[in-house]
Chain A
Amino acid sequence: MEAARAPLRVVPPPAPGDATGPLSLAQAYRLHSRYVAAIAVRLLGRDDEVDDVVQDVFLRAHKGLSQLRDPQAARGWLATVTVRVARRKLRWRKVGRILGLTESGDYDQLASEGASAEDRALLARVYEVLDRMPVEHRIAWALRHVEGQKLEDVAELTGCSLATAKRRIAAAQQTIDGAFDHER
C-alpha cells in the first residue's frame, strides 16, 4: 500500500536521441509499477481495473522511457501517461453503463484496512458522485484533492490551461457539494 503521495512531475514526451542511459521496460516496471498503480486506483476508485491500466501505461510509455536517463523524469512521464489511460478507461466505463455492460461502481472496499467506518462511507459516497460527473471534471478534481497536486500540475497533467483546470475542479466541487447538501 502506498500511503504517501509523492508530487507528480510533469514532463514533456521525451525527444528521441536525448538520452544516454536507456531504461528498459522491465527496469521501469520494477521501479515504478507501484507508483503507477497508486495513481490509477485514486483516479479510478476501483482496484479491479488497476492491473489493466498499469499494463497499458507501461506498454504505451516504454518507448519514451527508453529515451530517459533520469528516473524522476520517468515518474513524471509515467504520471502523464497514467492520466491519459485512466481518462480513456473512465470514458469507456461511462459508455459501458449507457449500454448496460458495466455496473455502477462498488466503492465499499476502496479504503485501506486502517480507515474508519466513517471514512469508508465518505469515500464510497464521494466516488459514487464522481462517477456521475464528466470525466474531465472528475480527473481534475481527483488530481487536486485526492492526489494533492498543485493547480498548475493538474493543468499540465490533463493537457489544459490553468483557467480550464480551475473551472473543472470548481464544477466538480459544486457537484459534490450539491450531492452532500441534498443528503443533509
Chain B
Amino acid sequence: MSAELLKRIESATGHVGVSWSDERAAAVSRAMMRRKRRREVTRATALGLAGVVVLILAVIGSRQLLTAPARAVASASVSASPAVLSLSEGSVVTPIGSSLVRAVETSPSRVLVQVVSGSARFDVARNPQRVFRVEAGRVAVEVLGTSFVVERLDDERARVAVERGRVRVSYHEQSVELGAGEEGVFPRSVPVPSASATPSSLASATPTAAVPVPSAPKAASWRSWAQEGDFDKAYEELRKAGPGAVRDDPSDLMLAADVARMSKHSDKAVEPLRRLLQRHPGDPRAALAAFTLGRVLLDELGRPREAADAFAKAHTMGGAMAQDALAREVEAWSRAGDAAMARTRAEQYVRLYPGGRRERSVRRYGGLE
C-alpha cells in the first residue's frame, strides 16, 4: 500500500464516528437493564435446577460428586457470580446452562478442570509456564492461552469448539490439534447418535473440514458420515437405507435436510423440513426449518410462491430470523411476479423494522423506491 493512500485512509477515518445522542443512550440503557433482569432470572432458574440436580445426585450417593479429591474446588477463588469459576491465575470458566464443572488443581505449573456434565466455555489466560488441562470423560484438552467450549456428551465423547488460539485434544492414544474456528467430536472414530445432532452441525461443517479427520468406519450410518462432514457418503447411505431411516424427531429431520442440501440434492431437503414443521411446530428449531425451506425453494429450486409461504411461516414464528424471513418473503413474492403481495409485505417490513438491515433490498423488491 502506498504511504499516500494509507495517509488518505487514516485521514478519512477521522470522520468515522457514532451519533450517540442522550435519547439514544437512554434507549440503549433501558434495553440493557431489561436484558440484565432477564439474565438474572435465567441464571437464578439455572442455578436452582443445578442445585436440584446436585441434590438428587447426592441422595443417590453419586460417588463422583461426593468423593471429590481433597484438593478440588478449594484451589479456585470465588468469582463474583457463583455460576462462573474465576481461577486465581486469571482464567475464567463459564458453565453453560445447568452444567457442572470443578477445578481439581490450580498450581503455578498446572491447572486441571473437569467437566462433570454438560458444557462450559473456557477463557484461558495466556501463560506458557503452566499447562491448562480440561478433562471431559476420557477426552482431555490442553491449551496455552485461548477461548474454547467443551461439551461432555457422555463418558467417552466430548465436543470441542475453539474460538481463539490452538488446543490439543487427546483421547485414547491419539491427539489432534484444533485452531480458531474449528470444532469436532472426539474420539473421531465413535459414531455419533443423531440425538446429539443439532442444526449447528451444518454450520460446523466447514471449519471442521480443516482438521485432519480419520475416515468414518465402513459400516457407519448416514448420521456418522454427516457428523464427519462427508455429506455425499451420508446421502448415499441415507438413500440406501430408505425413507424409514430418518426418525421423526427434529434433530434427525434437520440433519437429513442438511445432508440433502450439502450433497446437492436440495429437492430431497424439502420433505424432512416440511415434516418437521408439520409434526413439531413448537420445537425451537421450527423457525430455522421454515427459513431453510424458504431458501431451498427460492434459491435452489426456483419455486418462489412456496418459498414465500415458508418465509411467511418463519416470520410468524418470530425469533432472531424474523426480520430476515420477512425480507426474503418480499423477494420471493417479487420473483413470483406478485407485485401486490411484494409491496404489501415490504410495507409491513418498513413499518415493523424501520431502518432495518435489509431495508434497501426490501424497498427494491417491494417496489417502494
Interface residues, chain A, with chain B CB atoms under 8 Å away: 1-3, 5, 12-13, 16, 25-26, 29, 33-34, 37-38, 40-42, 45, 47-48, 50-51, 54-55, 58-59, 63-64, 66-67, 91, 95, 98-103, 106, 110-112, 114-115, 119-120, 122-123, 126, 136, 145-146, 148, 159, 173-174, 176-177, 180
Main secondary structure of the interface of A (DSSP, over half): helix
Asked whether any CB of chain A lies closer than 8 Å to the CB of B15, the reply is: yes
Residues of chain A within 8 A (CB-CB) of B6 are 145, 173
Contact assessment for B18 and A2 in the assembled complex, using a CB-CB cutoff below 8 Å = yes
Which residues of chain B come closer than 8 Å to A3, judged between CB atoms? 14, 17
The residues of A that contact B324 with a CB separation of less than 8 Å are 101-102
Taking a contact as CB atoms under 8 Å apart, the answer to whether B203 and A99 are in contact is yes
What CA separation (Å) do A13 and B49 show in the bound complex?
30
Find out whether the CB atom of B18 lies under 8 angstroms from the CB atom of A55: no
Residues of B within 8 A of A100 (CB): 295, 299
B360 contacts A106, C-beta separation under 8 Å: yes
Residues of B in contact, count (CB < 8 Å): 50
Contact residues in A for B227 (Cβ distance below 8 Å): none
Inter-subunit contact B31/A16 (CB<8 Å) = no
Task: Report the minimum CB–CB distance from A58 to chain B (whole Å).
Answer: 6
B20, A111: Cβ atoms closer than 8 Å: no
Any A CB within 8 A of the CB of B369: no
Chain B residue with minimal CB distance to A176?
Answer: B1
B78-86, B111-119, B182-190, B241-249 - interface stretch: B78-86
Which residues from chain B contact A119 at a C-beta distance below 8 Å? 11-12, 15
**Which of B1, B17, B29 lies at the interface centre, i.e. has the most chain A CB atoms within 10 A of its CB?**
B17
Cross-chain contact of A2 among B20, B145, B358 (Cβ < 8 A): B20
B9, A115: Cβ atoms closer than 8 Å = no
The interface residues of chain B lying within 8 Å CB-to-CB of A66 are 80
Q: Are A159 and B15 in contact (CB under 8 A)?
A: no
Report yes or no: B10 in contact with A145, Cβ–Cβ below 8 A. Answer: yes
Q: In the complex the two chains form, is B357's CB within 8 Å of A103's CB? A: yes
Residues of chain A within 8 A (CB-CB) of B80 are: 16, 63-64, 66-67
Name A55's closest neighbour in chain B (CB-CB): B32
Residue of A nearest to B324 (CB): A101
CB nearest to A98 among chain B residues: B206
**B280 on interface, CB distance cutoff 8 Å:** no
Query: CB-defined interface of B51-81 with A at 8 Å, one 1/0 digit per residue?
Result: 0000000000000000000000000011111
